[in-house]
Amino acid sequence: MTSTPHPDELTAQRLAGLARGPVGGKDPDPVTGDGTLIDTPGVRAPLVLNDRSFGEITNIICGYTENPVPRWWYAAAAVTAGLAAMMTVFILYLIITGIGTWGLTNQVDWAWDITNFVFWIGIGHAGTLISAILCLLKQKWRTAVNRSAEAMTIFAVICAATFPGIHIGRQWMAWFLPPLPNANAIWPNFRSPLLWDVFAISTYGTVSLLFWYMGMIPDVATLRDRADRRLRLNPQSGGPLLPFLPIPVDLIRAKVYGFLSLGWRFSGRHWHRYEAAYLILAGISTPLVLSVHSIVSMDFATSILPGWHTTIFPPYFVAGAIFGGFAMVLLLLIPARELYPHMKDFITLRHLENMAKILTLTGLMVGFAYSMEFFIAYYGGNEFELYAFKNRATGPYWWAYWTMIGCNVLSPQVFWNKAMRTSPFVIFIVSILVTIGMWFERFVIIVTSLHRAFLPGEWHMFSPTAVDICIFVGSLGVFTHLFLLFMRFLPMFAMAELKAVLPIASPHHGPGHGSGGHQHGGGH
Amino acid sequence: MTTAPVHRPQLAADNITLAKGAGRGVGMALIVVGLLAALAVLGMGLSGAAGVTKKHALAVYHTGAMGVLAMALGGLFFTMVFHLTNAGWSATIRRQCENLASFLPFAWLLVLPALVIEIANHGLLFAWLNPAYYHDHALQVKSAFFYLPNHIVDHDTHKVATEPVLPVFFLARALVYGVVWTLLSRRLCALSRAQDASPSVELAAKARFTSSWGMLLFALTTAFASFDWLMSVDFKFFSTMWPVWYFSGAAFSAMALLVLVFARLKAVGKLEGVVTSEHFHDKGKILFSFTVFWAYISFSQYFLIWYGNIPEETAYYYFRTFEGSPWRTLGITLMIGHFIAPFLIVLFRPVKKSPLALGLVALWCLGMHFADIYFVLRPMVDAGTGLPPHIMGHLWVDLAAIVGLFAVLVGFLIVKIPGLSLVAHNDPWIDESLEHRNYV
C-alpha cells in the first residue's frame, strides 16, 4: 500500500500525459455493481467511472466519431436504410394510390397512422424531459444521456411529423396546414386541435433542435480543433475520402465541424453566454414538454366520443409520453454502451437504474390514469362511456387492451426489486415491452373508440394492410438510421458537462478539502 | 441536545432549536380560538342563529377543513418526495414538512364533523344523501360507490328507498384514509425523530422505503378523498382530472405554508446559515412550478369540459360562471390571483431569494388556495334550491370558519415546532444541504 501513489498525483500524471488511464472492466461488486449502485443515504455515487481525466473523456468520446467505423455499424446502417427505403416506397405508393390503401374504413378513419404519430411524438418527450426538466432539477446524471436523448427527440419528431403529413391524402395541399393567406381565402379551422398540433409540434421541433444544436457547439468545436491539429501534423491526415477522391477526411472534418461550430473559441465570454442561453432554453422547453402532448391529447379529448372525452387526458398523455420515451432511450443506450469502448464509464448501472425508476413512476402514473378513466366511466353514469371501457377490456380488441395493461402497468413493477432494475438485460426487455405497450395504448384509445360507432350498422373491425405495416416498420428504420448517423458523426456525449460533474472539477477537490462522497460545482 | 461538529458550526444547538414550549401559549390560544370560531359557525348554522343557514355554515366549514387537509397532505407529499429522490438540498427543510404532515390525523378529524352533520341531516350540501334524490338515475347508477353494502334501490322489488340509507362504503373509505394518513405521517415523523437521537443511515433508508409504497397509498387515498369529500358535493358532476386538481392545490398550499414557517423562523434569528436564501430560492421555484401546474390542470379541466359542451359536465361550470353569477368574479379572481399574479411575481429571482418577499407572496397564495376550494363548495349552497346563485351576506361567517380552521393548523405548528430540532440535523444529506448553492 505504501508504494501506491496518491490518487491526485496519479491524476496529475495522467493529465500531463505521463501515465495511462485505467482500461476499465473491473469485476462487478455484488452490492454496488460497477461501483455506482451504492444506496446508502448521504453518499452520492460516482457519475463517471475509472477516474477518467478530462483528456481521456475527450479522447474516448471524440474517438466514437474519429475511429474507424465498427463493423456492426455498417450492418445496422444497411438494415435500417433498407427499412427507410421501404417506407419511402410505400409512402410513394400511398400518395399515388390514395389512403384507401390503408386499412381505414368508414368509421375507423384514424388508425395506425395517428397511432404512429402519437407514438413517435411521445417518444421525443423523454429527450426534452432529460435536457430541460432534469437540468432545472439539477440532476447531474443527465449529463451522460442528455445529448443522445435530445438527438432521439429530433428524430422522433421527424418520424411523427410524417404521419399527419401523409394522412391528408392530397399532399399537394399540404401547405394549407399552416395558416397562409391565399387567393381563395381558405383558412384552417383555428378551433380545431389538429391545427394547434401544427403549431405545437413545429414549435417543439424548432426549440428541441435549437437546444440540441446549441448544446453541441462546444463539442463540435472540439472535433474541429482535433481534426485541424492532425492536419497540421500531417496534411493527408485521415486518408482520402474515397479511393478516387483524394481529399483528406480530416480536411472535410475541419471544414464541416468548423462551419457547424459557429466560430466557437472556448473563451470565457462564450461559455458565459452559453450557460445563460442553456438555462433560458431549458426554461422554455419545460412548458413545451407539457404543452405538446397536452395538445395531442386534445385531438381526442375535445371531441365527445366515448373513451376520448375525459379531462385527465392532458397530464396522462404527458406521463405516458415520458414513459414511452424513456423506454426508447434505454433501448438505444443499453446496446450502445455494450458496443462502444469505455461507454460504461459514462453510462453506468446507476444511470440505468435511475431511468428504470422513472419507468416505474411514469408506468404507475399511466396506470393511475387508466383506473381513473375506468372509475369515472362507472361513476359518470353515461352508459356509452361505460360501454366504451367495458368494450376495451372485454370486446373484440381485449387482447390489445390487456397487452397495454400488461406491458405498461405490470411489467415495470419488476423494478421494485433492486436486482431487476440494475440488470441491463431485464431493463432492456422491459423497455421493449413498454414500447410495445405504449404503441398499443394509442391503438386502444383510437381504434376501440372508433370501431363501435353509435349506430351498430357502422361497426367495423380494423385490420391493417401491408401498407400500414410497412410504413410503420419503415419509420422504425428511419428513426434508427438517423440515430446511427448521429452516433457516427456527432459527439454522443456533452463532453463539457460530463467533465463538470467529475470530482476533479470541483473547487473543493484535493487534499485539505475533504473530498467526500458528495460533489458540487459544475452544472449550470 | 445536539453538538455541532467542527466543520458545521451552523448546527450549533441555539441556531437550530427553539426554547422548549416557546410560543406555546400563543399556539394553544390559536387552536382554541380557531376551533371555537369554526364550531360556533357550525353551531349557528345548525341552530339557525343570526340567519345563518345550515348549508352555508357547512359549506364554509368544509372549505376550511378541506383547505387545511390539503396543506397537511402536501407536507406528507414533500416529505416522501425528498426521501424518494435522495434529495440533498432539502435536508434542512424536511423537518418542517414532517411537522406539517403530522397535522394529518387532526385534519382528518376536522373533516369528520362535516361528514357527520351531512349524514345526520340526510344531505345538506351532499344531495346524494337526501332520500329526495334517490329516484335520480344519475345517483342510482353510482349509488354502490356510496352506499354498499346497503342499496337505495331494492334489488328484487326495484323500489326506491324512502328512508335515508347509511352510506357504509363512503364511511369505510373515510376510515381508511384516516388510518393510512395517520400511519404514514406518524411513521415518517418517528423515523426522523429517532434519527435526531442517533445518527443512522438505516433510518434514512427505512424512511425512503416507506416513502416508496407510501407514495402509492398517498396517491390513491388523496384521489378518492377528493372524489368523496369534494367532487361528490355535486353528485351529477364527474371529472377524471379532479384528484390531480386537488393534489396540485395541496402541493401548492403546503409549499406556501412552509415558506411562511421558514420566513418566521429566520425572522426570530434561527437557522442562520442552515436555511439560506439558496433554499428560499428553491422553495420559490417549487411554489412557482405548482402555480403553473395548478393553472395547467385547472385550465385543462375547464377547457375540455367547455369545449366538449356536454350538459352533464358543463352544468358544474355553468352554475359558477354564467353571466351574472356572483361566482363568476371569483372564478376570474382565481385565474388572476392563483396563477397570473404569483407567476409574474415569483418569476423574478430576487423575490424567490428573499424570505420577506416570498413570504408575502406565500400568504397571498394561501388565501387563493382557500378561495379555490371555496369556489367548489360555496356555490353549492344555492344548488337545488331553484334560486339563482347569490352571495347571501354574512361574509364574516365564511371568514370565521376558514380563518378559524387555518388558525388551528397554525397553532398546531407553533406548538409542535419547538418540540424538536428545527432541522433533521443528523440527516445523511445534511452536509450537502448546508453547502447548497443554486448557481456557482
pLDDT value of residue A253: 95
For B307, nearest residue in chain A (alpha carbons): A302
pTM for the complete prediction? 0.94
pLDDT value of residue A171: 83
* Beta-carbon pairs below 8 A across chains A and B: 107
**DSSP assignments along A7-32, one per residue:** HHHHHHHHHTTSSPPP---PPPBTTT
pLDDT value of residue A177: 83
Q: How confident is the model at residue B376 (pLDDT cuts 50, 70, 90)?
A: very high
**Residues A280-308, mean pLDDT to the nearest whole number:** 92
pLDDT value of residue B113: 95
Interface test with B, best of A38, A312, A376 (most B CBs within 10 A): A312
Q: Is residue B13 part of a domain?
A: no
A336 or A176, greater pLDDT: A336
Q: Please answer yes or no on whether A42 and B204 come within 8 Å at the CB atom.
A: yes
Q: What is the mean pLDDT of chain B?
A: 93
Residue A97, Cβ neighbours under 10 Å: how many? 10
pLDDT above 60 (res A5): yes
- Residues A179 and A481: their CA atoms lie apart, in Å, by 33
pLDDT value of residue A20: 62
Q: Is residue B289 part of a domain?
A: yes
Interface test with A, best of B304, B312, B431, B439 (most A CBs within 10 A): B304
- Sequence length of chain B is 440
ipTM of model: 0.94
For residue B75, report the phi and psi dihedrals to the nearest 5 degrees: -60, -40
Q: Is residue B8 part of a domain?
A: no
Beta-carbon contacts of B16 under 8 Å, excluding residues fewer than 6 positions away, are B2, B10, B270, B271, B274, B421, B422, B423, B425
Q: What is the pLDDT of residues B78-95, one digit of tens each?
A: 999 999 999 999 999 999
pLDDT above 50 (res B339): yes
pLDDT above 70 (res A335): yes
Hey, is B5 helix, strand or coil? coil
pLDDT above 50 (res A358): yes
Cell of B67: 383547505
Q: What is the mean pLDDT of chain A?
A: 89
Distance of residue A105 Cα from the nearest chain B Cα, in angstroms: 25
Q: Which amino acid, one-letter code, is at B410?
A: V
Q: Is residue B15 part of a domain?
A: no
**Residues B400-420, mean pLDDT to the nearest whole number:** 96
**Residues A69-74, mean pLDDT to the nearest whole number:** 94
Where b means 16+ CB within 10 Å and e means fewer, A155-169 reads bbbbbbbbbbebbee
The answer for B 113-152 residues in CB contact with A (under 8 A) is 137-138, 141-142, 145
- Residues A241 and A239: their CA atoms lie apart, in Å, by 6
- The C-alpha angle with vertex A495 and arms to A492 and A500, in degrees rounded to 5, equals 145
pLDDT value of residue A518: 43
Q: Please answer yes or no on whether A315 and B138 come within 8 Å at the CB atom.
A: no
pLDDT above 80 (res B368): yes
**Residues B42-49, mean pLDDT to the nearest whole number:** 91
For A513, nearest residue in chain B (alpha carbons): B7
- The C-alpha angle with vertex A509 and arms to A508 and A510, in degrees rounded to 5, equals 120
Q: Please answer yes or no on whether A518 and B308 come within 8 Å at the CB atom.
A: no
| Distance set, CA B145 to CA A200, A380, B135, B224, B228 (Å) | 40, 11, 16, 11, 9
- Sequence length of chain A is 524
Q: Is residue B12 part of a domain?
A: no
The upper half-sphere exposure of residue A67, i.e. CA atoms within 13 Å in the direction of its Cβ, equals 13
pLDDT value of residue A334: 97
Residue B402, Cβ neighbours under 10 Å: how many? 26
Q: Is residue B29 part of a domain?
A: no
**Residues A422-440, mean pLDDT to the nearest whole number:** 97
Residue A233, Cβ neighbours under 10 Å: how many? 8
pLDDT value of residue B364: 98
Chain B residue numbers with beta carbons less than 8 Å from the beta carbon of A376 are 238-240
Q: A172-176, A361-365, A410-414: lowest mean pLDDT where? A: A172-176
pLDDT above 50 (res A522): no
For B83, nearest residue in chain A (alpha carbons): A41
For A133, nearest residue in chain B (alpha carbons): B289
Beta-carbon contacts of B93 under 8 Å, excluding residues fewer than 6 positions away, are B258, B262, B275, B279, B283, B423, B433
* H or E stretch covering B299: helix B277-308
Domain encompassing residue B361: 34-434
Q: What is the pLDDT of residues A86-144, one digit of tens each?
A: 999 999 999 999 988 999 988 898 999 999 999 999 998 888 888 888 888 889 999 99
Hey, is A247 helix, strand or coil? strand
Q: Is residue B158 part of a domain?
A: yes
Chain B residue numbers with beta carbons less than 8 Å from the beta carbon of A44 are 88, 432
Q: Please answer yes or no on whether B238 and A369 come within 8 Å at the CB atom.
A: no
- Do A126 and A145 touch, CB atoms closer than 8 A? no
Cα A239 to chain centroid distance, Å, stands at 34
- Residues B64 and B406: their CA atoms lie apart, in Å, by 7
pLDDT value of residue A159: 96
pLDDT value of residue A9: 72
Q: Please answer yes or no on whether B300 and A314 come within 8 Å at the CB atom.
A: yes
Q: Is residue B53 part of a domain?
A: yes
Strand-pairing partners, residue B160, are B153
For A315, nearest residue in chain B (alpha carbons): B297
**How many distinct structural domains can be found in chain B?**
1
**Look-up of cell digits 404527458:** A318
pLDDT value of residue A150: 93
Q: What is the pLDDT of residues B277-297, one digit of tens each?
A: 999 999 999 999 999 999 999
Q: Please answer yes or no on whether B142 and A379 come within 8 Å at the CB atom.
A: yes
